[in-house]
C-alpha cells in the first residue's frame, strides 16, 4: 500500500466507523532507542512500553533525520499495536510508530501534548 504524504492530496475514501475501530492505536513510553543503520531509510530501533496489557514492543521508526535516539528515551509516542509483525532489515518490527511528514518529508512523531497512561487507546 502506498501512503501519500502530500498535504495537498485529497482525503482517502470514506470508511465505516467499525473499520476505524479495528485499528488499535495506543500510547507507549520509549524505554530504549538506538540507531538502526541497516534499514533502507534513516531509522531508529525503539523499545516502547505500552503498559501491562500489551507490554514492551519493538519498532523500527524512520525518524533518524529529526531525532537523536538518546533524547527519545522517556518520550511518549503513538503506535498501531495490532498490525502483524514486519521484517525491517534484520529486526522484526512489532508496532507501527506514527508520525507526520514535515515540509521536507522527514517524519515528525505523533504524541499527546500531556502525559497519559501507557496503553491508552486513541478514540
* Per-residue pLDDT tens digits for 12-28: 999 999 999 999 999 99
Instruction: Judge contact between 62 and 39, C-beta under 8 A.
Output: yes
Q: Which of 31, 35, 57 has its CA nearest to residue 45?
A: 35
Q: Is residue 32 part of a domain?
A: yes
Mean pLDDT of the chain: 93
Q: Is residue 56 part of a domain?
A: yes
Q: Is residue 87 part of a domain?
A: yes
Q: Which of 72, 67, 78, 63 has its CA nearest to residue 27?
A: 78
- Structural domain count of the chain: 1
Q: Is residue 63 part of a domain?
A: yes
Q: Is residue 2 part of a domain?
A: no
pLDDT given for residue 3 in this prediction: 56
At 43, which CATH number?
A: 2.40.50.140
Which residue segment(s) compose the domain that 84 sits in? 21-109
Give the other-Cβ count within 10 Å of 31's Cβ. 14
State pTM to two decimals.
Answer: 0.91
**Whole-angstrom Cα distance, residue 42 to residue 40?**
7
Amino acid at each position: 500500500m502506498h501512503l501519500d504524504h502530500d498535504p495537498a492530496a485529497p482525503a482517502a475514501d470514506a470508511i465505516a466507523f467499525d473499520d476505524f475501530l479495528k485499528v488499535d492505536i495506543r500510547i507507549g513510553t520509549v524505554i530504549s532507542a538506538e540507531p538502526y543503520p541497516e534499514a533502507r531509510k534513516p531509522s531508529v530501533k525503539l523499545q516502547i512500553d505500552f503498559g501491562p496489557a500489551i507490554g514492551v514492543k519493538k519498532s523500527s521508526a524512520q525518524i533518524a533525520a529529526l531525532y537523536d535516539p538518546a533524547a527519545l528515551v522517556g518520550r511518549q509516542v503513538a503506535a498501531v499495536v495490532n498490525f502483524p509483525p514486519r521484517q525491517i532489515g534484520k529486526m522484526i518490527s512489532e508496532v507501527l510508530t506514527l508520525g507526520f511528514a514535515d515540509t521536507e518529508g522527514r517524519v515528525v512523531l505523533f504524541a499527546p501534548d500531556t502525559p497519559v497512561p501507557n496503553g491508552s487507546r486513541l478514540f
